[in-house]
């Protein structure tokens, strides 16, 4: 096998892998996992729990978060 054969083989393997990944991503069996992942940004944490920056989510007497 020379260099051109290897390039052709890599191209075909990459194309097949891409097609398999697209089919798997659009599979109806994956719908519940995608729906659950889509809701992750909207899940609220417990009141008073620190956020990703480590800040407390409780409010002070003025009603501001602090």
User: What predicted TM-score, i.e. pTM, was given to this entire model?
Assistant: 0.54
What mean pLDDT is predicted for residues 5-34? Answer: 96
Cβ–Cβ under 8 Å, residues 7 and 15: no
% of the chain beyond a pLDDT of 90? 59
* Ramachandran category for residue 59: left, alpha or beta (phi over 0 → left; psi -120 to 50 → alpha): beta
pLDDT for residue 22: 96
- pLDDT band at residue 25 using 50, 70 and 90 as cut-offs: very high
Q: What is the residue-averaged pLDDT of the chain?
A: 83
């Amino acid at each position: 096998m020379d260099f051109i054969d290897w390039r052709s083989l890599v191209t075909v393997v990459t194309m097949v892998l891409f097609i398999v990944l697209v089919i798997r991503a659009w599979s109806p069996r994956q719908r519940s996992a995608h729906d659950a992942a889509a809701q992750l940004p909207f899940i609220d944490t417990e009141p008073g729990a620190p956020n990703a920056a480590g800040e407390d989510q409780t409010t002070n007497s003025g009603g501001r978060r602090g």
